[in-house]
Chains A and B, each alone.
Chain A
Amino acid sequence: MSDAPYGLHPPTVADAHDALHRVHGADGPRIWAALLAGAGVTGQEPDALDRLLPVLDRADEVTQLCAQALRIRLTSYTCLAAAHSMTRS
């Protein structure tokens, strides 16, 4: 069995990058750079998404909705992965 329950993967920094650029259009690169700076990350750190999400929560309303979508995906993954793990053990 795959480690991705039902094909669902946890969101990554790359997913956050894509989401921010998607919803902000031409302003995406500027806003993304400011969010990275606000979180004090380059995006390469293993815990970069964990550090970015609280910064997204405090940003403009469009960015907050990106954070909410990422959290829904992350919580779905966490719940289903836990159940998946129990059924395999």
Chain B
Amino acid sequence: MSTKTERDLFDRLGRPDRIRRLAGYDLFHPALRARLDALATRAATGLEAPVALVSVVLDSAQFILGGHGVGGWVAQSQGIPAEWSLCARTVLDGKPYRVGDSRTEPACADNPMLELTGLASYAGVPLIDDSGQVLGSHCVLDVHPRTFTDAEVAVLSAGADEAIEILAAHRR
């Protein structure tokens, strides 16, 4: 059973209009997933990061649609609980979010996902479709503390635009 803090987060993420919009895409289509995997790989290569993701954030979980460098329990689950998701913050804020060093970032204190994966830094940008809904995020993560530059965030933003185009091709 979820805690009140978790339920508050799930309520913010699970607004009916946002989830209805997400449901308008065929998120399980293999071709969509393959294209988003390729996009994630390109971001990881271009930004020299071990992990890159294209995700949507559902009400209580981050659902990874395309990924590079994802393994273990995260790969098996195809995502992570929303309360551990840095992308959930990117979605709720609707703007780029950067964490240079999770060990010194108060918002990341005691985040089990970071502890379990050994990831230390994050840069993510929102995926915003033509309805204005924030569907998810495109992000990279690194195992080392790292200052992501504006130019690197711009690369992610271009990737997010491309992810939205790919998603648009899979609207029902």
**A interacts with B:** yes
CA distance A70 to B77 in the complex (A): 10
Point out which of B23, B61, B73 has the most chain A C-beta atoms below 10 A from its C-beta. B61
The smallest beta-carbon distance between B63 and chain A, in angstroms, is: 6
CA distance A62 to B89 in the complex (A): 22
Give CA–CA (A16, B61) in the complex, Å.
13
Assess A62 versus B20: contact at CB under 8 Å? Given A72-B78, A72-B79: yes
Bitwise, A65-89 to B at CB < 8 A (1) or not (0) is 1101111110110011001000000
Interface size class of A (residues with CB under 8 A): 20 to 34
Q: A7-B112, A83-B73 are in contact. Are A64 and B58 (CB under 8 A)?
A: no
Cβ contact within 8 Å between A22 and B11 = yes
Contact B60 A76 (CB under 8 A): no
A68 near B58 with CB under 8 A, answer yes
Verify A69–B60 contact, CB threshold 8 A.
yes
- Residues of B near A24 (CB, < 8 A) are 16
As a 0/1 sequence over residues 61 to 83 of chain B, the CB contacts with chain A under 8 angstroms (1 = contact) are 11100000000111011111110
B29 at the interface (CB under 8 A from A): no
CA distance A70 to B116 in the complex (A): 20
Cα distance A71–B77 when bound, in Å?
7
Interchain residue pairs with CB less than 8 A apart (11): A25-B16, A62-B19, A62-B20, A65-B63, A68-B61, A69-B61, A72-B63, A72-B79, A75-B73, A75-B77, A76-B77
The 7 closest A-B CB pairs, nearest first, are: A79-B73, A6-B112, A61-B23, A72-B61, A75-B77, A69-B58, A72-B79
